[in-house]
Amino acid sequence: MQPSAAIIGAGPAGAAAAVLLARAGWRTTLLESRPFPRIKVCGECISPAATPQLHRLLPPEHLRRLGAVPVSTFSLHLHQPSSTRTLSWHMPAPTWALSRGTLDLALTTLARDAGAVIAQPATVRAVHYHADHVALTTADGHTLTADLVIHADGVGRHDAPPAPPAPPAPTPTPSRPGVLGLKCHLRPPTPFTDLAMHALPAGAGYLGTVPIEDNLVTVALVARTSALEPFGNDFDAALTALWPGFDPAWRLAAASPWVACGVAASGYRPPGHLRSFRIGNAAAAVEPVGGEGIGNALWAAETLTGLLTAAAPLSCASLTAAQHALARAYRARVRVRRPACRTLAEVLMRPRLLGALWPLLQAAGTADRAPHAQPAPGAPWVMAPWWHLLGKAGG
């Protein structure tokens, strides 16, 4: 009989793993606590470093049918008391932008079509580990058994307790203290026509916008909670202060609420049991400034699926080998991405520092007069090394 897997979480990591394992003939159950489509804190740009993995699941024509937008320009804005300065670059490779509501639903539908059982809404409350199987308990009291469990829950809360003397507590993905991630959808009166990702350092934070399907624009913001405190829960007021071009009516027209969450950050965290695997944010999280999270999730799903299908029939030795190979691949994947994205985030959170670096960037960018005008090609030497560093140029 084919092996079985229970996957916790139908974000890009879990849903993609469910598609690939089900296609490989595994008996696959995907458990997701929220009904889809749902709004999720995310900048909604998929790194070109994962375009091959994305296209193997959702080919370009499928993405276009879903309304995904190929973003080809990156614009950096710097607001100063007297003026706003803008620099733009053509991206070495386009990056797809699509709402998480649409993306996660599309991947989950593919998983169902491939033969996976989708349990939704179903919240996993506990995982019990045995020598030859795992048993998951859901909030409504059901129990599911499988050969192994894949934690793709973004937080990794239901992992095996680590062996003594470490504290026998679950180990959720740590979030950066004092920092909040926020997101909403906007509908400007005239759609953004420049197919550009815009980034803006915004006093103790940074924000990004990108056009997505249905003429909507995603705005995602990472900010220190101390900078948000004066605004209470009025995130429109916060955004108006941080982004002078923002009009709160754009958000109301899109009927999108603000959603907020912590900003996960961690190196690779191995699971605590041979029959437990982590992928996506549950395994490792990179600062969201680089737009690497979804890409890492898709890459991890494909990498793990390849290792598991090669490990069948499952044995202690083959599972151990898969665990070690995943850990090696993950550590290599985040070795450069984590410090690079963290450094960029720290620069963007300091508008003065960015102002000091501006002349250097200016030598390599294209100055725009209008904030959303189509740029002429900028010199490639700012974007290209960054994209090579993060593996984006190969997409």
Interface residues toward ligand FAD, by CB under 6 A:
8-14, 31-34, 41-47, 123-124, 152-154, 158, 181, 183, 220, 222, 261, 263, 280-282, 288, 291-295, 297
Nearer to ligand FAD, 44 or 147 (CB): 44
Torsion of CA 138, 278, 34, 6, to 10 degrees: -50
Nearer to ligand FAD, 261 or 364 (CB): 261
Residue type, 144: L
Q: How far is the CB of 115 from ligand FAD (least distance, A)?
A: 20
Residue 114 · residue 22 · CB < 8 Å: yes
- 59: tokens are 């080919």
| Strand, helix or coil for residue 26 | coil
User: CB-hemisphere CA count at 13 Å for 205?
Assistant: 24
Sequence-ordered strand ranges (E) for the chain? 4-8, 27-31, 45-46, 69-79, 84-97, 117-119, 124-129, 134-138, 143-146, 148-151, 175-186, 196-201, 205-211, 217-224, 259-264, 276-278, 366-367
Nearer to ligand FAD, 60 or 355 (CB): 60
Q: How far is the CB of 359 from ligand FAD (least distance, A)?
A: 28
Nearer to ligand FAD, 42 or 254 (CB): 42
Nearer to ligand FAD, 37 or 358 (CB): 37
What is the distance between the terminal CA atoms of the chain, rounded to a whole angstrom? 37
Q: What is the Cα–Cα distance from 217 to 97, expressed in whole angstroms? A: 10
Q: How far is the CB of 165 from ligand FAD (least distance, A)?
A: 27
Q: How far is the CB of 35 from ligand FAD (least distance, A)?
A: 10
Q: How far is the CB of 83 from ligand FAD (least distance, A)?
A: 27
Nearer to ligand FAD, 128 or 355 (CB): 128
Q: How many CB atoms lie within 10 A of CB 1?
A: 6
Q: How many CB atoms lie within 10 A of CB 169?
A: 9
Nearer to ligand FAD, 126 or 252 (CB): 126
Q: How far is the CB of 260 from ligand FAD (least distance, A)?
A: 9
| Strand, helix or coil for residue 197 | strand
Residue 145 · residue 154 · CB < 8 Å: no
Nearer to ligand FAD, 263 or 382 (CB): 263
Nearer to ligand FAD, 80 or 142 (CB): 142
Residue type, 195: L
Q: How far is the CB of 222 from ligand FAD (least distance, A)?
A: 5
Which residues make Cβ contacts (< 8 Å) with residue 6, sequence separation at least 6?
29, 31, 134, 136, 144, 146, 148, 149, 150
- 312: tokens are 């069948």
Q: How far is the CB of 316 from ligand FAD (least distance, A)?
A: 27
Residue 29 · residue 119 · CB < 8 Å: yes
Q: How far is the CB of 198 from ligand FAD (least distance, A)?
A: 12
